[in-house]
Amino acid sequence: MIDTIKEHIAKVEAFSAETKEAVETFRIAYLGKKGILNQLFAEFKNVPNEQKKEFGQTINQLKSAATDKVAQLTASLENPLEESGKYGDLTRPGNPVALGARHPISIVKKQIIDIFSRIGFNVSEGPEIEDDWHNFTALNLPEYHPARDMQDTFFVQTDPDILLRTHTSSVQVRYMENNQPPIRTISPGRVYRNEAISARSHCFFHQVEGLYVDKDVSFADLKQTLQYFTKEMFGKSKIRLRPSYFPFTEPSAEVDVYWGLETETDYKMTKGTGWLEIMGCGMVDPNVLTNCGIDAEQYSGFAFGMGIDRIALLLYQIGDIRLLSENDLRFLEQFKGVL
């Protein structure tokens, strides 16, 4: 008899059900009025005295096993997993929230904006898809100007007038068309050039353009502004301006900062010269002012343009420009906690 009860216990424990009906059938079979438990209890009086204790204990075991099983199956069918997962097991450790990092391009861009905003420059932006006028013609680069070849351009095929801007100088034009001097603005943004992708160059990268237009702005103002910038950005204030050519500035110059030759890295970075080229600049060509609706007799200005990616590669000693756009977390995570 006791063995039969034990078999029932094993059966009850192994029981599982997919539907509430199956649970109900199971409940009636064991716990119902005419169910197995009541039948077994009815046998109690026939059990020999010496076995009564064990019989009673075993049958109580069966009763609680069946009661528990019904409760457990009913609960799980009423709250299917997804729903009970709303709160889940509140005692389990939480999922850690992964802490992000600023992208090195954003870090450098932010530093540049901070530095220029301290001397009164605001931030302006323009579209990445540009027209010929803003990217070239207004900047003193008419249609057949050979200097257009300096920047290999992505054109939108259906319309040769529409292109991906090759530099942020296009924002200068837009800003001057919409604002009269005094103008002090910097324009960070992404630019595109039809170049083969390698460790050193990419078909898209980032620039910051600077523009200052007012009465009596001179080359000396340009030089002082750039010196202030290199001091704040790199902690180095020795700069030199090498004569150069850009169609939109006259005179034009290339800016080198004296990096020094103290470490082996300095040697590598500067190819043994101690000097690093960081940007192009010049006095805004009066033609450009006129093109943009600013009186060139009354006003003068300076402009400069630098590559953000290049500066990020220098500052963080990154050997391959492609790392800046591949989004490899092993790379990006190294910038956690910077600014």
Which spans of this chain sit near ligand DAH (rule: CB under 6 A)? 167, 169, 209, 246, 249, 280-282, 303-305
Q: What's the burial of 261, exposed, middle or buried (CB within 10 Å: 0-12/13-18/19+)?
A: middle
Q: How far is the CB of 278 from ligand DAH (least distance, A)?
A: 11
Cβ closest to ligand DAH, residue 209 vs residue 309 = 209
State which residue, 138 or 303, has the beta carbon closest to ligand DAH: 303
User: CA-CA distance, 191 to 171, in Å (whole number)?
Assistant: 11
Of 134, 148, 132, 140, which is closest to residue 287 (Cα–Cα)? 140
CB of 304 to ligand DAH, least distance (A): 5
Nearer to ligand DAH, 12 or 181 (CB): 181
Whichever of 124 and 169 has its CB closer to ligand DAH, that residue is 169
Residue 8 or 202 having the CB closest to ligand DAH: 202
Shortest Å distance, C-beta 132 to ligand DAH = 15
Closest CA to 175 of 216, 122, 222: 122
Question: What are the tokens at 150?
Answer: 């300096």
Are 147 and 137 a contacting pair, CB within 8 Å? no
Phi and psi at 226, nearest 5°, equal -70, -35
Minimal distance, residue 284 CB to ligand DAH, in Å? 7
In the complex, minimum distance from the CB of residue 208 to ligand DAH, in angstroms, rounded to a whole number: 9
User: β-pairing, 249-258 with 275-284?
Assistant: antiparallel
CA–CA gap between residue 70 and residue 24 (Å, rounded): 8
Nearer to ligand DAH, 288 or 323 (CB): 288
Distance of closest approach, residue 190 Cβ to ligand DAH, in angstroms: 12
Burial 219-258 (b: 16+ CB within 10 A, else e): eebbbebbbebbebbbeeeebebeeeebbbbeebbbbbbb
**Residue (of 278, 323, 309, 283) closest to 188 by Cα position:** 309
Nearer to ligand DAH by C-beta: 27 or 167? Answer: 167
Smallest separation, CB 248 to ligand DAH (Å): 6
The structure tokens 């850690």 sit at 96
For the bound state, the minimum distance from the C-beta of residue 303 to ligand DAH, rounded and expressed in Å, comes to 3
CA 41 to chain centre: 71
Nearest residue (CB) to ligand DAH, 59 versus 233: 233
Nearest of 80, 67, 71, 81 to residue 37 by alpha carbon: 67
Q: Residues with Cβ < 8 Å from 130, sequence gap 6 or more?
A: 162, 163, 164, 165, 170
Closest-by-Cβ residue to ligand DAH is: 305
Whichever of 246 and 275 has its CB closer to ligand DAH, that residue is 246
Question: What letter represents residue 307's amino acid?
Answer: G
Q: C-beta of 186: minimal distance to ligand DAH in Å? A: 10
